């Protein structure tokens, strides 16, 4: 039975009169027929306003690491609310949370808070520039670091014809052309390419800004040797290593991707999983660098370290540090991969998984990608179509194949069984639709 989206359609028609695209963020618009509005979320599932229930693998792009409305975190948040909210003055809890973060992430010698991933990365880049006195930075093809001008130069791979070099373009209108010259692009897992750029431009490059597991590009993972080489090259050329852990932080390991790879950033950023969805982000790093805040480099914000978000962060991080939540998340992700793999194999569909089991990219080619360019060699149109059927079957993934599937600690055996049932049906529906199209075209 296909879903009914009557209420979402009706609401969309009203919302679009007051809200651009009928939504609060461009990414939430899935077309007039498929944009949904959410009524509630509990554990690993969300329900839309038509009462369709979904096992959710978007989890708000990752934040709900313990599951929606986790009672332990929400209780802490309510206590945070009792404190009074926003004072634009500091509280004792900031230190408590900062100490926990430093314990979990050794590179986080000193800590500052922000409100969103974008804000944290923007602050980290400013800090790197302020500390080094240099303006340029290096980005990886396929990376996403938030919606601010410096991070909004990208390589639109869907437009690339697999010949020559893909072109760097602004992600949006409104990005000053003059900001283009600061960004240098390299491919993931290419230490020689990185060294070439650093050799030529080290005198103007402040930092390499990198996500070792690319949370917006299937979860393409850095080879450990590549990341070690990148660390060494940064040191050799006097360039800071900024690791963006907005998605991987407190998810792929207690100490994030830096623990997984045994690597230390000079500056690192965190957001999504920090407070199970309450808005808070973190800029952290080496003491000498972090002390530039207030001594030349500006950082602040009225809502920074809001008492509700901070209390939620304190409790979420405690749970992640002291319980087996992350191990359970990883186990579930491994089982999900195995179940999907069996279904696809039985249907003769080449595929592989990328990234960490807690945030898996499903890739429709047998050999997993090592660069964003590899994505062009996969059957991503099969994914795009299957995603629509998955939604109809009550499995919510991002309709864009580059977004990984996020797991939370509340995904349970029932979620897994429902997902695999829906996944098999969606795979069949996609194959059938493809076969029909082929028949029509001959």
307 lines the binding site for ligand PLP (CB under 6 A): no
Angle, CA 306 vertex, CA 300 and CA 310 arms, to 5°:
110
212 lines the binding site for ligand PLP (CB under 6 A): no
Minimum CB–partner distance for residue 209 and ligand PLP (Å)? 9
HSE at residue 240, side-chain half, CA atoms within 13 A, is: 30
Selection from 163, 356, 140, 374 nearest residue 260 by Cα:
356
Selection from 52, 54, 49 nearest residue 15 by Cα:
49
Residue count at the site for ligand PLP (CB under 6 A)? 15
144 lines the binding site for ligand PLP (CB under 6 A): yes
Minimum CB–partner distance for residue 59 and ligand PLP (Å)? 12
By CB under 6 A, which span of 110-118, 359-367, 415-423, 428-436 interacts with ligand PLP? 110-118
DSSP 334: H
216 lines the binding site for ligand PLP (CB under 6 A): yes
Which 226-255 residues touch ligand PLP, going by CB under 6 A?
244, 246-247
Q: Closest-CB residue for ligand PLP?
A: 117
121 lines the binding site for ligand PLP (CB under 6 A): yes
Nearest CB to ligand PLP, comparing residues 299 and 351: 299
145 lines the binding site for ligand PLP (CB under 6 A): yes
DSSP 399: S
Which 57-76 residues touch ligand PLP, going by CB under 6 A?
61
By CB under 6 A, which span of 50-58, 208-216, 334-342, 362-370 interacts with ligand PLP? 208-216
- Pick the binder of ligand PLP from 141, 190, 211, 374 (CB under 6 A): 211
Nearest CB to ligand PLP, comparing residues 67 and 142: 142
Minimum CB–partner distance for residue 146 and ligand PLP (Å)? 3
Selection from 361, 359, 396 nearest residue 375 by Cα:
361
- Tell the residue number behind the tokens 């369709």, with chain if given: 52
Q: List C-alpha distances in Å: 344 to 201, 260, 348, 363, 364.
A: 46, 29, 6, 11, 10
With left for phi above 0 and alpha for psi between -120 and 50, is residue 162 left, alpha or beta? left
- Tell the residue number behind the tokens 């005198």, with chain if given: 203
- Pick the binder of ligand PLP from 41, 146, 404, 422 (CB under 6 A): 146
Convert residues 262-281 into a mask of x (bound to ligand PLP by CB under 6 A) and - (unbound). Answer: ---------x----------
- Pick the binder of ligand PLP from 35, 114, 116, 304 (CB under 6 A): 116
Nearest CB to ligand PLP, comparing residues 246 and 310: 246
Minimum CB–partner distance for residue 321 and ligand PLP (Å)? 22
In whole angstroms, what is the distance from residue 70 CA to residue 276 CA? 8
Query: Do residues 407 and 395 make contact, with C-beta atoms less than 8 angstroms apart?
Result: no
Query: Do residues 379 and 365 make contact, with C-beta atoms less than 8 angstroms apart?
Result: yes
Nearest CB to ligand PLP, comparing residues 124 and 289: 124
142 burial via Cβ count (<10 Å: 0-12, 13-18, 19+): buried
403 lines the binding site for ligand PLP (CB under 6 A): no
Nearest CB to ligand PLP, comparing residues 216 and 419: 216
In whole angstroms, what is the distance from residue 94 CA to residue 306 CA? 10
330 lines the binding site for ligand PLP (CB under 6 A): no
HSE at residue 257, side-chain half, CA atoms within 13 A, is: 32
- Tell the residue number behind the tokens 């623990």, with chain if given: 259
207 lines the binding site for ligand PLP (CB under 6 A): no
In whole angstroms, what is the distance from residue 408 CA to residue 410 CA? 5
By CB under 6 A, which span of 3-11, 64-72, 82-90, 142-150 interacts with ligand PLP? 142-150
Minimum CB–partner distance for residue 115 and ligand PLP (Å)? 8
In whole angstroms, what is the distance from residue 210 CA to residue 124 CA? 12
H-helix or E-strand spanning residue 322:
helix 307-322
Nearest CB to ligand PLP, comparing residues 374 and 403: 403
By CB under 6 A, which span of 85-93, 112-120, 301-309, 363-371 interacts with ligand PLP? 112-120
Which residues sit at the interface with ligand PLP, rule CB under 6 A? Answer: 61, 116-118, 121, 144-146, 211, 215-216, 244, 246-247, 271
């Amino acid at each position: 039975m296909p879903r009914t989206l009557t209420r979402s359609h009706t609401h969309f028609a009203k919302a679009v009169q007051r809200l651009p695209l009928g939504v609060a963020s461009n990414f939430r618009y899935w077309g007039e027929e498929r944009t949904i509005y959410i009524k509630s979320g509990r554990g690993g599932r969300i329900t839309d306003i038509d009462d369709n229930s979904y096992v959710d693998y978007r989890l708000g792009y990752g934040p709900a690491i313990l599951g929606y409305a986790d009672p332990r975190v929400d209780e802490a948040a309510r206590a945070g609310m009792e404190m009074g909210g926003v004072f634009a003055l500091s509280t004792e809890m900031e230190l408590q949370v900062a100490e926990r973060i430093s314990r979990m992430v050794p590179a986080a010698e000193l800590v500052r808070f922000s409100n969103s991933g974008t804000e944290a990365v923007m602050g980290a880049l400013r800090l790197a520039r302020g500390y080094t006195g240099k303006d340029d930075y290096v980005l990886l093809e396929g990376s996403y670091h938030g919606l601010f001008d410096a991070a909004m130069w990208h390589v639109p791979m869907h437009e690339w014809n697999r010949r020559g070099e893909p072109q760097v373009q602004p992600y949006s209108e409104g990005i000053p052309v003059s900001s283009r010259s600061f960004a240098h692009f390299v491919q993931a897992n290419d230490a020689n390419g990185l060294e070439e750029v650093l050799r030529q431009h080290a005198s103007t490059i402040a930092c390499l800004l990198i996500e070792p597991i690319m949370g917006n590009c299937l979860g393409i993972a850095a080879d450990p040797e590549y990341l070690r080489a990148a660390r060494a090259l940064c040191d050799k050329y006097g360039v800071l290593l900024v690791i963006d852990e907005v998605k991987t932080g407190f998810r792929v390991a207690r100490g994030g991707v830096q623990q997984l790879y045994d690597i230390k950033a000079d500056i690192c950023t965190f957001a999504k999983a920090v407070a199970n969805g309450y808005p808070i982000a973190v800029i952290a790093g080496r003491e000498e660098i972090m002390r530039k805040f207030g001594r030349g480099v500006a950082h602040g914000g009225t809502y920074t370290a809001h008492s509700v978000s901070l209390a939620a962060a304190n409790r979420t991080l405690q749970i992640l540090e002291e319980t087996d939540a992350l191990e359970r998340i990883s186990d579930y992700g491994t089982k999900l991969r195995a179940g999907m793999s069996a279904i696809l194999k039985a249907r003769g569909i080449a595929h592989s998984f990328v990234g960490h089991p807690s945030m898996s990219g499903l890739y429709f080619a047998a050999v997993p990608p090592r660069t964003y360019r590899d994505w062009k060699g996969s059957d991503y149109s099969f994914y795009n179509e299957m995603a629509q059927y998955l939604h109809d079957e009550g499995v919510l993934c991002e309709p864009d194949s580059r977004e990984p599937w996020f797991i939370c600690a509340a995904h349970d055996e029932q979620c897994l069984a429902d997902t695999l049932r829906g996944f098999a049906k969606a795979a069949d529906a996609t194959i059938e639709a493809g076969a029909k199209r082929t028949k029509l075209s001959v």
